[in-house]
Structures are given as structure tokens and as C-alpha cells.
Chains A and B, each alone.
Chain A
């Protein structure tokens, strides 16, 4: 279970998270929606300890990552897979080497090279990337990079997967592919997941529950059907894609610095 309680975070005086509360239950897929630059990715980075909050607590399976020692944080991170927006594949390693990296580096897995190769092949096949294992990240498309990164996430069998804008910059068909993969991963491995996105079809398709971020908080939380039926004007504006009229309005929405 992932719990955030009264989390606050400001960057250069700009408050990005304000008394932020979130609870994600085991096996649940929670989708955070909201406009770009509102602090959705910042939320994910707090959960894995890449960012420290100014105040508040963040618990992952009972461990407060804000107070965890380096060893405790390492143990927590072993349970979490993080799919970064651009994939974050290491450029000087092939796709296969990238996927094998967590298994080769973490002694906890204690796998022989043949087992590592077999596991990597299995995960790359899952994302339909087995034939690209020997290519470098520069030589494959954005969608392939994301799928390879997902294989790297899954290879360590994480109990929790955090998806940061998994369909950003992808065409509709590739977005659907990623969407199906997220559902497949949930079905096959029963992972707890948080998906950060502003892609509404994806949010409706993968979310058990979803919440909309506005001015550092989740202002509307519920099932996709409940959120779609929300009467909150800010939620309605976002769901219906009403254009922002002025810089003042952008500032009011917390999007301008």
C-alpha cells in the first residue's frame, strides 16, 4: 500500500504539493490526471525517494521513505518499478543489456547468466521487443523505447509499478498498445500501480480509481465513471478540454511559475 499524508513541496517558492493526501491500495491501479506542470511526476518521484518533501509522510508498504536510511530506501526501491517518461534507457547499452541491468547489478536476484538471458527474453517478448534486443536505444522508436523500458521495469518482478506519462509523444495505436500492456501487467502480475497521465482514454482504460490534481492537491477522487460524472467546474474544463483563455487563467490554475 502507498500512502501520502499532508505532503508539501515547493520549488523556488512555488508550491507544487500542498497538504497532498493519497492512498493507493494493494493491487489497485490509481491514475493521477491533471494538466502538464501541475506536479504529477513530482508525486511519483517523492514515492521512490528521488525527491524529499518539505513536510509530510510517504509510506510504501509501511516504510516511511522520507525517514528511511539508505539501506531501507534501497529495499523499498527493489519493490518498485518506475517507467520514466522518456524511457530513460541507458544510451551506451543495448536494449538487452538495459533489461538485464537490474538482474546483473542486484545481487539479491543471484541469477546465472543463462537465467538472466532467459528472463530478459521472456520480458522482451511480453512487450514484443525480443527481436530488438541487440539494438541501441538511439536506433529504435519512442514507442519501442517505452516498451523496452517497461521490460526493464518488469524484469525485477516489482510489486509496485509507477508509470510516468506512459503514452506521452506516442501515436494513438502505440498508445493503445501501451494501454493494453499496462492492463496485461496488472492481470498477470497483480501489481499495485500509479499512472500519471493527461491522456484521458488511457486513464479511463487502466484506472481502478483516478484523481485529478489541481493547485497541489487531488481535488476529485473516484472511479473513472465517478470522475467523468464530476460536476466540479475545474474537472469539467479539463475533461472536456476547454482552452485556457489567458496567462492570468493559466496562473490561476497553478501552471505558470
Chain B
């Protein structure tokens, strides 16, 4: 009976949470036009979301490229196809790994921080105080965070693409004896397929679009978890953990569906 009650409560909470997060996401998007009024706060959030995590993003990006090149390179070498390494690194990073790695880092750092920050504000009645002052908390707190992360996530994904490619190039040159010039030319060639309506390679475009969706998702989930926190420090901890787990899960699911949509 307890298991049944737990199951019903879990489903009910999940549906309620999903509904709240979706509404919050659209409500924040609907307030993007007030960006000039919140310009300072959006800039501050862009710094928090995009500049502060930059060192981690660069280090993880470089090592992603290195590991990818090393592991793939060894296998390709067995089949005598080591020169294909540049194509694989370029395509994999641009399409999938760049946005995904960025999404993971931002979920663990920025998304969790958003949930903790807004959760603390919620349990210390700061959000209530904002509401009682007839101030829209979505406009004041959520919109700047969602907009900032939606802008910064694709920019960081692009950084991961670049440093990952350079990391892969380092391994290609040092371990697989592929010269830098050949490697970089092959990476550029592998990303040549143009997108239909944009002057960007399709693989890069779809990857950056994924990062836009990831940024929107991470910020919406983080803010939603924070705004629904209750029960003191324990509640803030629960909200932060929930935000990270849900955002990770959604990133994987959305990543799959976007890949399926663009590469049917």
C-alpha cells in the first residue's frame, strides 16, 4: 500500500513539476522583450553562466578531444584508417559532444547554483516578499537567468568544439603522426555540408541549436526547482539535486530527439 501511495505521489509530483517548469519556461521566453529593462542583470548572469565556467569548459573540452582522438585513433589504426580521425573528431564534437559536454558542465555548475540560489530565496521568504511588493518574480529573477544561459550555452559549446578539435589535433600529430595542416584541413572538409538556410555547416548549426535548447532547459529546470523549494536547508538541497538529475535526463532525451529530427 505504501509503495502504491509512493508511486502515485511520485507520478503526481513529476507531472506537476513538468507542467510548472514548462509554464515557467514559456513565461520567461514571453518576457525576453523586457531585456533592455533588465540589461544589467542579464549581463551579470551572462558573466556567471558564460565567463565563470569558461576555464572548466576549456579544460574538459581539450581532454574530450584528446580522449576521443586517442581511443578512436587506436581503433582506426588497426583498420589502417587513421587519417579518418579528423572527420570523426570534427563531426562528433560539432554534432553531439560539444553541446552535450557543455550542457553537462552547465547543469552541474550553473543549473545547480540557480536552483540553490532561488531555493534559498524561497525558503527565506524573499520570493514571497517580491510577490507582495507586486513585483513579478519571473521578470526579476527567472527571465535574466534563462536568457543569459540560452545565449551563453551555444557560445560555450562552440568553444568546446574548437578546443576539442585542437586537443584531437594534438593527439593526431603526436600519436598518429598526422600533420596539423592535414588534420585541420580534413576537419574543415568534414564540416562543409551547408545548412539549408544558414551560412553555417549543418553539423555545427545543429550542434549549436542543441546547445540553445540545452541552455533553455537547464535554466528553466534550475529556476523551477528553486522556486518550488520548501522546508529549509533540506528543501534547498533536495531542489538542487532534483534540478541536476532532471536537467541531465532531459539533455539526453532532447539530444536524442534533435539528432533524430535533423538526421532522420
Of the candidates A84, A102, A149, the one whose C-beta lies within 8 Å of that of B135 is: A102
In whole angstroms, what is the CA distance A105 to B140 when docked?
Answer: 9
Chain A CB within 8 A of B128 CB: yes
Residues of B with C-beta under 8 A to A156: 133
- With contacts A84-B129, A88-B129, A105-B140 taken as known, whether A77 is within 8 angstroms of B134 at the C-beta atoms is yes
Task: Check B121 against A82 for contact (C-beta < 8 Å).
Answer: no
Q: Which of A46-95 contact B (CB under 8 A)?
A: 48, 50, 74, 77-78, 80, 82, 84-86, 88-91
Q: Establish whether residues A78 and B134, one from each chain, have CB atoms under 8 Å apart when the complex forms.
A: yes
A48-B132 contact, Cβ under 8 Å, with A88-B124, A88-B125: yes
B75 interface contact, C-beta 8 A = no
CB neighbours (8 Å) of A106 from chain B are 133-135
Q: How far is the CA of A82 from the CA of B130 in the complex (A)?
A: 10
Q: Does B131 contact A (CB under 8 A)?
A: yes
Is A181 an interface residue, CB under 8 A from the partner? no
| Closest B residue to A106 using CB positions | B134
Are A101 and B134 in contact, CB atoms less than 8 angstroms apart? no
- B133 pairs with A102, CB closer than 8 A: yes
Distance between Cα atoms of A188 and B176 in the complex (Å) = 83
- Interface size grouping (class) on chain B: 10 to 19
B192: A residues at CB distance < 8 A: none
Min CB–CB distance B235 → chain A (angstroms): 15
Residue-wise interface mask of B (100-132) relative to A, using a CB-CB cutoff of 8 A (1 in contact, 0 not): 000000000000000000001100111011111
Q: Which residues of A contact B125 (CB under 8 A)?
A: 84-86, 88
A105-B135 contact in complex given A88-B124, A89-B126, A90-B126, C-beta closer than 8 Å? yes
- Give Cα A10–Cα B116 distance, bound, in whole angstroms: 29
Contacts of A88 in B (CB 8 A): 124-126, 128-129
* Min CB gap A72→B, angstroms: 11
Q: How far is the CB of A42 from chain B (nearest CB, A)?
A: 12
Q: Which residues of A contact B131 (CB under 8 A)?
A: 50, 77
* Residue of B121, B124, B132, B140 touching A77 (CB-CB under 8 A): B132
Measured CB to CB, the nearest residue on chain A to B131 is A50
Q: Which residues of B contact A91 (CB under 8 A)?
A: 120-121, 124, 126
Q: A85-B125, A105-B140 are in contact. Are A90 and B130 (CB under 8 A)?
A: yes
CB distance from B212 to the nearest CB of A (A): 27
Tell me the chain A residues, 17-71 only, with Cβ under 8 Å from chain B. Answer: 45, 48, 50
Assembled-state Cα–Cα distance A48/B132 (Å): 7
Are A101 and B133 in contact, with the CB atoms below 8 A? Answer: yes
The CA of A220 and the CA of B124, in the complex, are separated in Å by 32
Q: Which residues from A are CB-within-8-Å of B128?
A: 45, 50, 82, 84, 88
Name the A residues within 8 Å of B132 (CB-CB). Answer: 48, 50, 77, 80, 82
- Given A50-B128, A105-B140, A90 and B121 contact (CB-CB distance below 8 Å): yes
Q: For A45, list chain B residues within 8 Å (CB).
A: 128
User: Which residues of the other chain, A, contact B129 by a CB distance below 8 angstroms?
Assistant: 82, 84, 88-90, 149
**In the complex, what residues of B have CB within 8 A of residue A82's CB?**
128-129, 132
Interface string of B133-171 (1 = CB under 8 A from A): 111000010000000000000000000000000000000
Taking beta carbons and an 8 Å cutoff, which residues of A are in contact with B? 45, 48, 50, 74, 77-78, 80, 82, 84-86, 88-91, 101-102, 105-106, 149, 152, 156
Beyond the given pairs A77-B134, A82-B132, A105-B134, 15 more chain A to chain B contacts, judged by CB atoms under 8 angstroms and listed by A's residue number, are A45-B128, A50-B128, A74-B134, A80-B132, A82-B128, A84-B128, A84-B129, A86-B124, A88-B125, A89-B129, A90-B121, A90-B126, A90-B130, A91-B124, A105-B133
Q: What would be 12 A-B contacts, judged by CB atoms less than 8 Å apart?
A: A50-B132, A74-B134, A82-B129, A82-B132, A84-B125, A86-B125, A88-B124, A89-B129, A90-B121, A91-B126, A106-B134, A106-B135
Q: When A and B form their complex, which 6 residue pairs have the shortest distance between CB atoms, in order from nearest?
A: A88-B129, A88-B125, A82-B132, A105-B135, A77-B134, A84-B125
